[in-house]
Amino acid sequence: MRVVVPTVAIVGGVAAFVFLVYGALTGDNPFLNLVLVIAIYAVVGPFLYLISAHALHVRSNSVRHGTVSLGYPIRRASGGRKRTFHVSELVDAKPEIGRGGYIGATFLLSDGTRFFIEQSAFEGRGLEIMNKLCRLVGKSYESEVKAILVQGRRYRFHIARLRGVRNHRLVFAQRIRTETGNAIRELAPDDVQSWETVSTPYAGPTYLVTMMDGTWFLITEAEAKSVGFPDLPGWAGKGLDKDSGKPMSLHSSEA
């Protein structure tokens, strides 16, 4: 996304400039029209620059050698603003849905600093990293967030509508926005971490699908059965046992 935004701004700006210059030179008063185009871009140009510069400046969240680097500074309770903290500073975590419906967790550091991190901020590794950070303070990130969204009192899982199946890939009626920022219309089993059966007050019996990048969505049981899910080739082995939470294939072999 940091590359797409400035690219669109620059390419779109140049294309629009060429189009306007061409129109100006072929009009009734080329000189006056050209002056007008230059005047317009003198005003619009700085805005295009700021958009591009901001997009390139925003950093991605990352974790390396126990140090979590954030894309923005956080105000520390002990004073100052920092973009990093060490996992040894973590004393508590609260998995929750933040303002605007963003999935993540509020963390508490040893100096009293409290802040929220979105799952999607880690660009496709959010679920994995949030699980690890919360586990350090004895919290189960994934299970707690799932419980909130299954209950659906304020925030709910997205319900994906199926159109059919193509080459063992699920085909959706509408695109699904993923944690990496992509919009997909089809989903192969190789891109899925797991699926499990859940019952929600707002959709009844459903299948909860977890993609490799941490994207979650529901498929209603009725629509799933209409296309043969989850017994399609490549999908059956992705199922989680309802009681143990382990892959069904692994659970069966241990039994």
| Residue 119 lies in domain | 69-151
Q: What is the mean pLDDT of residues 10-33?
A: 55
**pLDDT computed for residue 255 by the predictor:** 43
User: Domain holding 222: CATH number?
Assistant: 2.40.50
pLDDT cut 70: percent of the chain above it? 72
Q: Each residue of 184-231: pLDDT tens digit?
A: 999 999 999 999 999 999 999 999 999 999 999 999 999 999 999 999
Verify that 184 and 121 share a domain, yes or no: no
**pLDDT computed for residue 165 by the predictor:** 97
Query: Is the overall model pTM greater than 0.85, yes or no?
Result: no
The answer as to whether 83 is a domain residue is: yes
The answer as to whether 253 is a domain residue is: no
Verify that 146 and 178 share a domain, yes or no: no
Compute how many other C-beta atoms are within 10 angstroms of the C-beta atom of residue 65: 6
Verify that 39 and 86 share a domain, yes or no: no
Mean pLDDT over each residue of the chain, to the nearest integer: 83
Q: Each residue of 66-80: pLDDT tens digit?
A: 999 998 899 999 889
**pLDDT computed for residue 124 by the predictor:** 85
